[in-house]
Structure 1
Amino acid sequence: MFSLADLFDGVVTGSWLGSLENLTGEKLTAQCCGRALSLLQQTDIQLAHGDKIVIRAQNDFFTVATMLSAWHLGLVVVPIKGDAGQAAVESIAADCNAKAIVEGESIALLETYRPQQKLFELHTASRVTGVDLALIIYTSGSTGKPKGIMLTHQNVLTSLQSTSDYLRLDSEDRILCLSPLSFDYGLYQVLFALFKDCTTILYDKTFNPLHVLKVISEMKISVLPIVPAMGAALSKLLSLVKPDLSHLRAITNTGGHLPEYVIRAWKQYCPALNVFAMYGLTECKRALYLEPELWEQKMGSVGKPIPGLDVRIFLLDELQNTYHEAKANEVGELFVRGSGVMQAYYDPSAKGGAQIISGLYRDDNWLATGDLFSRDDEGFYYFKGRSKDLIKQAGFCLFPKDLEGVIDACPLVHLSAVLASSDRYQNEIAVCVLELHENTPEHQQQFKAWLKDNLDADYTPREVRFVEAIKLTANSKIDRQKLQQELEF
């Protein structure tokens, strides 16, 4: 497979052996792809190879067919959430200079589009290759302004191959896609069906744990991709609903740490279930994974590098302006190298946690993730938090993710977030924001007593705030930026 255009060809020629289904059992067809292709070939729009199109992505067949048709034509897909506000749509369209927007089965030119002079003018049809730009995925903005991440066809195909290998996907698997297709985690579940000839079920409703458990049972789901909030909500109902999960063999997770109590709840109900702890970011898709057989032995670890990527922990020598690899158990910044790594942010001035650090040659370019890690003597990696989230409280370095991992183990806790703030003397302190299963005064006191017994005083957040609900982003991640604004840190 040379590009994502081959996926379109597989559907329309009938050589694709997998299936993309919805909750009623309908399937993606060649006819649906034909309608989408006709839409993009409207003569008054005149889309050309390399043009960018914004797609209001729904978890439905026509969204998928539109993406496949766009790649067939050599266009660049910019997916956004179907219910995104108009201001957000206009901001993204202007940022990446998109030419048109697709909403359902209609297409329109964008007023913000500005023609760009091309260096090479062609008189014959362009050919889609692996180095062509395929996707611009915008980050969710949970830690800052959304940034456009540029991915080539080869970037995507590399990630599909590597991830499907370590997840052990085969043609018998049935994947439930709960996440929106504007989120790379959701989009890749669809692409797995096309890439591995397995089956993906599009969940097109608002997430409801009772209904999701019913779907898993009735549709014989074998692979369940979740984010921590989903995993926690579903696990609470397992012993009450007692769903038939006899076909479920694996759970995958993204968007943050999956608490130990959630893993144990799933494993208690399904002892043979494989739970894949993983680490990644949109800029490189996946970087690390822990083999499910080691989840208890290496609790808290996100494992080793995925197939095809080189992963290292580096420390910066500011005097020499060079990087040297950290020793075992040293904390440093995680760097990733390989063909799954993004090309760049579309806006060169975009500032984020991750950035490309160029070496002497093209094969010596590294993605500095902005995340802090350590590696044990056996080569297993442990996430310590974002470098910019490191909290220095009374001279001690507190890593929010480490603290959240401990706090989430408390049976009273549903969700937690550890954030930086200042005391009345303007000293930096850690604040723990908590959503309890039952937010009662009695449970609040019980949690404070539990925290005192389970955390060293020097590493205990100076303040605990209880809230009725911690707000999540559209991708079901904790919205740390909004949380800080609302609680006036």
Structure 2
Amino acid sequence: MTDATPLLHDFLLHSARRLPDKVALVCGEQRLTYAELEQRSNALANALVRRGVARGDRVIVFAENTAEAAISFWAVLKANAVVVMVNPQTRADKLAYYLNDCRAVALISEERLASEFLPAMARSRHLRAAVIAGALPPPLVDGGVPLTGWQEALAAEVSSAPPARRCLDVDLAAIIYTSGSTGDPKGVMLTHRNMLTAATSISTYLRMVEDDVVLNVLPLAFDYGLYQLILTVRMGARLVLERSFAYPAKVLAKLVEEGVTGFPGVPTVFSILAEMKGLWSQDFSQLRFVTNTAAALPLKHIHMLRELFPSSRIYSMYGLTECKRCTYLPPEDLERKPTSVGIPIPNTEAWVVDEDGQRLGPGQVGQLVVRGATVMRGYWEKPEATAERLKPGPLPGEFVLYTGDLCRMDEEGYVYFVARMDDIIKSRGEKVAPKEVEATLTNIPGVKESAVIGVPDPTLGQAIKAFVVLEQGISLTEKELQRECLRSLEPFAVPRTIQFVSSLPKTSTGKIKKTDLS
């Protein structure tokens, strides 16, 4: 096959040819040019092939946000394999589940995660090779999967060319596992075409350019974080990779130092920023765009971002792993439609249906359906779960994604997220959307963040319970918050009980983990 076959890693190939000496990746003290990123990923790809990785095999990358993780992502694709990025906070039991579920033949990880990957490897039935950055730990099982050091693997490959191309753009490029809050995690299958289309669409509406510098604090195992790597490489831009947002002052200093122009975040990141006004005096004038997903931003955070980053375009976005991105709100519409998650992304269609699959009109609440080339191939070896999400579309032979999210659209086609279908609380015979209650609570001055759940109640069926984190130095009572809620919500939607907590449990991607609340 030739370079004309559109594959995801062509983004790196083309940028390396065009801009070999430009810095592509900044990670701690490391600064890799496009030529170095290309050469090292070629070497690792060849090392994987020599260890038996073949077209369509799955390879797990279990690592922090490091240069090695970024190199590994491109290397697995170049080896004609399927990359599975796994969060470094994953424990051994779940890692073993991933290894066996996708039948991974190779693992790429790092020394400091040995306490998790060694016991997981010992339970794998398909693993044949492992490449480890850092010092090699002693294996738990004699005669088990051989461990190869990172430097050893790369140094042994003298060829600067990647392995021969074997894939088509309809072949799988990645499997991204969902969080698995209900039941076992499901592997979302994404083809090269899925990811090429998504990257092209997103970089287009973000108006990204070659001169962009994007700072990423989100895990590369989170598709939102992973796409920062893909988008910057597509444009020939630069990615500044941070391990987390645990040290906000350090991250903001890096933002200024590197001349960052793009800053992707999630609501938890922005709620931290809102409390750190002592850091706001720095010059952020070079920042051109800020993006948010995972949940709609509260109005007060929108105002905060406008004050903190006055030169930036602010994008509110909504999506699912199953199709990467559904909608985005053009920055010029933020003022007139602040609670909307926007319009379908380029080259995508969306509409709302009732329980019978019939399209609904403006203002009516139903399940959002997405059509386009970003829609997943399905869930890895889970045909029943796939059939619940992928259903026949308007054209014969095609399938569209039923998102499982309740939304409504206005007369102009702008989407408003209402709730996950399985999140709806039924109280006093009425249906209550937790997101609406949470938005009301979080917009009350002094409230940092909130989460709302339904709890069993013999009279109401479900009672509404809220968990609230207050801003530092603020004192509010349950009755004061309930009184404020009554200004915006129907009486049946006002939380019956409010529990004040110091923090909310979260997933590694910053989403509130409601399964840990009761």
Would the TM-score normalized by the shorter structure come out above 0.5?
yes
Q: 1:113 aligns with which of 126, 130, 134?
A: 126
Structure 1 regions of 5+ residues with no counterpart?
116-123, 318-322
Which residue pairs with 1:420 in the alignment? 454
Which residue pairs with 1:72 in the alignment? 78
Higher deviation after alignment, 427-436 or 274-283: 427-436
CA positional deviation for 1:71: 0.9
Task: Please list the CA deviations of residues 398-449 of structure 1 after superposition, one character each: whole Å capped at 9, or x if unmatched.
Answer: 1111221222111121111111211144712221111111487645453233
> Residue 80 of structure 2: SS of its match in structure 1?
coil
Which residue pairs with 1:82 in the alignment? 88
Counterpart of 2:31 in structure 1: which amino acid? Answer: E
**Runs of 4 or more above 6 Å deviation:** 105-110
Structure 2 regions of 5+ residues with no counterpart?
129-162
Which residue pairs with 1:24 in the alignment? 29
Give the alignment of 1:88-237 within 5 angstroms.
88-104=94-110, 111-113=124-126, 127-142=166-181, 145-205=184-244, 207-237=246-276
Give the alignment of 1:4-43 within 5 angstroms.
4-10=8-14, 13=17, 15=19, 19-24=24-29, 26-28=31-33, 30-31=35-36, 33-42=38-47
CA positional deviation for 1:294: 1.1
CA distance 1:377–1:368, change in 2 (3 Å): same
Counterpart of 1:307 in structure 2: which amino acid? Answer: P
RMSD of aligned alpha carbons: 2.7
Q: 1:279 aligns with which of 318, 329, 333?
A: 318
- Structure number with the bigger relative contact order (C-alpha 8 A, sep ≥ 6) is 1
Give the alignment of 1:285-296 within 5 angstroms.
285-296=324-335
| TM-score calculated relative to the size of structure 1 | 0.89
Identity fraction in percent = 31
Maintained 8 Å contact 2:423/2:433? yes
Query: For 2:249 and 2:502, how far apart are their aligned partners in 1?
Result: 21
Task: Please list the CA deviations of residues 22-81 of structure 1 after superposition, one character each: whole Å capped at 9, or x if unmatched.
Answer: 243612454455445444544762111111011113212221112212111211001101
Query: For 1:451 and 1:360, how far apart are their aligned partners in 2?
Result: 42
Which residue pairs with 2:158 in the alignment? none
Query: For 1:437 and 1:354, how far apart are their aligned partners in 2?
Result: 41
Which residue pairs with 1:320 in the alignment? none
> Residue 27 of structure 1: SS of its match in structure 2?
strand
Which residue pairs with 1:447 in the alignment? 481
Which residue pairs with 2:154 in the alignment? none
Query: For 1:261 and 1:81, how far apart are their aligned partners in 2?
Result: 31
| TM-score calculated relative to the size of structure 2 | 0.84
Matched, 1:410 2:444: yes
Maintained 8 Å contact 1:54/1:78? yes
Query: For 1:241 and 1:15, how far apart are their aligned partners in 2?
Result: 35
Task: Please list the CA deviations of residues 305-325 of structure 1 after superposition, one character each: whole Å capped at 9, or x if unmatched.
Answer: 1100011101132xxxxx211
Task: Please list the CA deviations of residues 357-410 of structure 1 after superposition, one character each: whole Å capped at 9, or x if unmatched.
Answer: 134856631100000011111211110001111112112221111221222111
Give the alignment of 1:256-267 within 5 angstroms.
256-267=295-306
Which residue pairs with 1:120 in the alignment? none
Length, aligned pairs only: 471
Task: Please list the CA deviations of residues 237-283 of structure 1 after superposition, one character each: whole Å capped at 9, or x if unmatched.
Answer: 23554221111121101111211111111112333421111110110
Maintained 8 Å contact 1:18/1:197? no
